[in-house]
Amino acid sequence: MISTSQILTIHNHDRELAGLTYVYPVLSRRAGGVSIGINLNPNNACNWHCAYCQVPNLVRGKAPEIDLAQLESELRGFLNALVHGDWLEHNAPEGLREIRDIAFSGNGEPTSAAVFPEAVALVARLHDEFGLGAGVPVRLITNGSLMAQARVQEGVSLLAAANGEVWFKVDGGDVDAIERINGVRLEPEAISRHLALCAARCPTWVQTCMFRWDGELPSRHDIDAYLEVLTAAGIENLQGVLLYGIARESRQPEASHLSALRLDELEEIAARIKEKGLTVRVSP
């Protein structure tokens, strides 16, 4: 049974709106319409702890065992309601009643699921079965931390074969910034290596969240270090950067440190990124 108790908004990404375990709808600013989310982390477990994360009760860990039969049943039923039913008419705002993508995102790092490649193949098959076409891509939204693993690379390659794309999270450019923003102690060179691995296998956009920390803008050093990460991965291999701000309140203890950037402040950062020859899409 597919249900939604309220009209979708960009401010509410509640994974339980449709009453399902693995499938949920969101109104995506960056996708520009309704995104069908695939949540392989219903246990709220992630190997990172991003300061801006909206997942309540976030814990460290990985995806649980995934019931692929249940995932297929939920996605098939939801796609049927959207494509052949009137779900969009009743639950999405006028002008945004379009399916824009199917996105592996959810409440943690999706590539931590042991059956990640099998899940990608399943979603790609149903995408074709419902005739969604190239205008509704399958996307992976990932922190990229597991990209060196063979099974993750297999899933990313399957995504490419389905004309999909990856949105790869890069928020900081030095060890301290990465730890403060993403909650992991990680060398920036590792992010560059994983980003390069990903971009070699599937069209890849860098997804970056920028904000004020304790009222302070990202510094020139912060932006320079961030750009060095992208440069080391190979600018020419990237589709571009999805630069966005904070639209929904963080559910993490670090929330009190964060405040949104103005559009003009995001545009100034975008201009720096464009100097490197990258396409930038800005979502305040």
Average pLDDT over residues 211-223: 97
Predicted confidence at residue 6, as pLDDT, reads 53
Provide the residue count of the chain.
284
Predicted confidence at residue 250, as pLDDT, reads 92
Residue 123 has pLDDT above 80, yes or no: yes
Residue 59 has pLDDT above 70, yes or no: yes
Model confidence pLDDT, tens digit, residues 237-279: 999 999 999 988 899 999 999 999 999 999 999 999 999 999 9
Q: Among 90-99, 121-130, 192-201, whose mean pLDDT is lowest?
A: 90-99
Residue 81 has which token pair? 């309601």
Predicted confidence at residue 32, as pLDDT, reads 66
Predicted confidence at residue 14, as pLDDT, reads 44
Predicted confidence at residue 177, as pLDDT, reads 97
In the chain, domain spans: 23-282
The proportion of the chain whose per-residue pLDDT surpasses 70, expressed as a percent, equals: 92
Rounded (5°) CA angle 215-109-150: 130
Cβ–Cβ under 8 Å, residues 170 and 206? yes
Cβ–Cβ under 8 Å, residues 225 and 173? yes
The residue that leads in pLDDT, 9 or 254, is: 254
Residue 10 has pLDDT above 60, yes or no: no
Residue 12 has pLDDT above 60, yes or no: no
The residue that leads in pLDDT, 189 or 34, is: 189
Q: Residues near 64 by Cβ (< 8 Å), separated by ≥ 6?
A: 41, 42, 43, 45
> By C-alpha distance, which of 178, 189, 107 is closest to 148?
189
Q: What is the three-class DSSP state of 5?
A: coil
Q: Which fold has domain 23-282?
A: TIM Barrel (3.20.20)
In Å, how far are 78, 141, 206, 282 from 242, measured between CA atoms?
28, 12, 6, 6
54 phi and psi angles, rounded to 5 deg: -95, 5
Predicted confidence at residue 95, as pLDDT, reads 73
Predicted confidence at residue 175, as pLDDT, reads 98
Q: Residues near 238 by Cβ (< 8 Å), separated by ≥ 6?
A: 195, 199, 204, 205, 206, 230, 278
Predicted confidence at residue 13, as pLDDT, reads 43
In Å, how far are 99, 246, 249, 259 from 13, measured between CA atoms?
16, 13, 11, 19
Residue 148 has which token pair? 């060196």
> By C-alpha distance, which of 232, 53, 67 is closest to 141?
53
> By C-alpha distance, which of 84, 101, 91 is closest to 33?
101
The residue that leads in pLDDT, 73 or 12, is: 73
